[in-house]
Amino acid sequence: MAAGGAGAQPSGPAAPGASPRLADASLAANLSVPAFFEFTAPSHWRAIDFISDLHLCEAMPLTFEAWSAHLLHTPADAVFILGDLFEVWVGDDMQRLPFERACLEVMAEAGSRRQLAFMSGNRDFLLGSAALRACGAIALPDPTALKAWGGTLLLSHGDALCLADQPYQRFRAEVRSTAWQERFLAQSLDERLALAREMRRVSATRNHFDGQTDLDLDPAQTVAWMHAMGAAEMVHGHTHRPASEELAPGFKRHVLSDWDLDRDRRCEVLRLTRDGLERHAPTAAP
């Protein structure tokens, strides 16, 4: 069941009218809103699962097993992975490594059974579109407007909206540039893995490491994105603080849980159906 009736097209800001109303429109006036992509769920779909922040790595075999079982056996028509699937991804030559190869084999098998979609996180933004295509997965830009059953949902990893962390935003802009990525990818796999370890060590000491920080999405900017998209609800990850709450009247965000079944028992799937969003335990292997 590959791409079929689904498609991702670039889109301008949503037309005014059907959009949820922002109580104070001036709130959004001075905030920049990025171009966003639109993905329309085929009308025969009944459920879409959202997961993020698995931080898969060889040292977390139980997390890998739970993720793999869910991807292969969920009753949902699609699984949307909203970033940080991998603890670290420094280039697609990581597919040579046994653990990463096993992960992509699970993705390919799951991708033959249901639609997979992947949005980059701050850990795995170098996972390339060719590797995703090989698994039958759609690459979702951040942010994406998901149109499903008459509603619009804003999807984002979340790190681009953590505006209070200016050093991180400068770092993010640099590593997402073509020039930086060309220089980085020109190095050997061992050099890149060592550099990634060093960057994570430095970022941990500055306390702007995802999951170990109080930083959160900027509410005004987030609501501005939702307003421009015509989305009353949003799903994001990154902060590892699962909750569903209003950011402003009429604008609700749902934060995904990270997964850690090796040191803890955290794992959760957010499932969208015609009736709305609901949190579930992952599906186990039969």
Q: Label the pairing between strands 151-156 and 48-51.
A: unpaired
Location of structure tokens 């075999």: 61
Instruction: Determine if residue 266 is left, alpha or beta; phi over 0 gives left, psi from -120 to 50 gives alpha, anything else beta.
Output: beta
Q: How far is CA 245 from the centre of its chain?
A: 19
Judged by beta carbon, residue 78 or residue 255, the one nearer Mn ion is 255
Does the footprint of Mn ion cover residue 227 (CB under 5 A)? no
CB of 5 to Mn ion, least distance (A): 31
Q: For residues 234-263, which are near Mn ion according to CB under 5 A?
A: 238
Tokens representing 93 are: 């030559």
- Residue 223: closest CA among 214, 236, 242, 239: 236
Q: Is 208 a residue that touches Mn ion (CB under 5 A)?
A: no
Which position among 115, 122, 222, 257 is part of the footprint of Mn ion (CB under 5 A)? 122
What is the DSSP code string of 231-267?
A: -SEEEE-SS---EEEEEETTEEEEEPPP-BSSSS-B-
Closer residue to Mn ion, CB minimum distance, 36 or 168: 168
CB of 158 vs Mn ion, minimal distance in Å? 7
Comparing every residue's Cβ against Mn ion, the nearest one is 210
The residue among 73 and 172 lying less far from Mn ion, judged by its C-beta, is 172
Q: Is 215 helix (H, G, I), strand (E, B) or coil?
A: coil
Size of the site for Mn ion (CB under 5 A): 5
Out of 77, 84, 258, 260, the residue judged to bind Mn ion by CB under 5 A: 84
Q: Is 121 in the site for Mn ion (CB under 5 A)?
A: yes
CB of 62 to Mn ion, least distance (A): 21
DSSP 93: G
Rounded to whole angstroms, the Cα distance separating 218 from 24 reads: 16
Distance from chain centroid for Cα 239: 11
Closer by beta carbon to Mn ion, 115 or else 203: 203
Looking at 9-17, 101-109, 118-126, 188-196, which segment touches Mn ion (CB under 5 A)?
Answer: 118-126
CA 11 to chain centre: 19
208 or 238, CB closer to Mn ion?
A: 238
Q: How far apart are CA 88 and CA 184, in angstroms?
A: 14
Interface with Mn ion, residue 210, by CB under 5 A: yes
Shortest Å distance, C-beta 210 to Mn ion: 4
**Per CB under 5 A, 165 contacts Mn ion:** no
Contact 6, 41 (CB under 8 A): yes
Minimum Å gap between C-beta 159 and Mn ion is 5
Tokens describing residue 268: 């959760």
How far apart are CB 202 and Mn ion at their closest, in Å? 16
In Å, how far are 16, 113, 220, 222 from 24, measured between CA atoms?
Answer: 15, 45, 11, 14
Binding residues for Mn ion (CB under 5 A): 84, 121-122, 210, 238
